[in-house]
Amino acid sequence: MKYFLTPIVLVIFFDLYSKNFALNYLQEKVNILWNFFFLKYAENTWIAFSIPLEWLALKIITIILTWAIIFYFFKYEYNEKNKLLSVSFWLILWWAIANWYERIFNEKVIDFLWIKYFVIFNFADVAITTGAIIYLLILFKENKKTTP
């Protein structure tokens, strides 16, 4: 656990810095790749995938989900021998905390990575998704081992 404190601080700093960069320097969209992938400033005042919720409900849900992830991880999944499992949860948790901070104190999350016709997101969303995919792959692999 002690090895995760420095990365937590660095990751949250990187996330907040990248969002501050988007806020200050992305007044117009910037084409990054083949008129398909852009940098574009956007404010997400709702929850994942822009599902609309009132601000108080959103803050409460954000806090509950973050604490639920922490509780679940330490109660059911934490295993010092399975480093990849820990990495998957820490990816989810670190970035959930970064989004949690922004949602609670700024009442919005800044998104700036845009895939045309699809979705606009930020680095926290990428890390949370990556952590979830790693976790699901671990579950799939363990399930294959136990299934006759």
The model's pTM is 0.74
Instruction: State the catalytic residue, choosing from 89, 92, 96, 111.
Output: 111
**What residue segments make up the domains of the chain, in order of their start?**
12-146
> Which residues have C-beta within 8 Å of that of residue 61, sequence separation ≥ 6?
47, 53
Residue 99 is predicted with a pLDDT of 77
Closest listed residue to residue 43, CA positions, set 104, 117, 120: 120
Residues 114 and 146: their CA atoms lie apart, in Å, by 40
Residues 75 and 71: their CA atoms lie apart, in Å, by 6
Q: Cα 142 to the chain's mean position, in Å?
A: 25
Helix (H, G, I), strand (E, B) or coil at 112: strand
Asked if 108 and 102 touch (Cβ cutoff 8 Å), the reply is yes
Residue 36 is predicted with a pLDDT of 92
pLDDT along the chain (148 residues), means of 10: 63 84 89 91 74 70 80 77 78 78 82 88 85 88 71
Residue 133 is predicted with a pLDDT of 92
Instruction: State the catalytic residue, choosing from 85, 88, 103, 125.
Output: 125
- 111 included as an active-site residue: yes
- 15 included as an active-site residue: no
For residue 114, list its beta bridge partners: 38, 120
Residue 55 is predicted with a pLDDT of 66
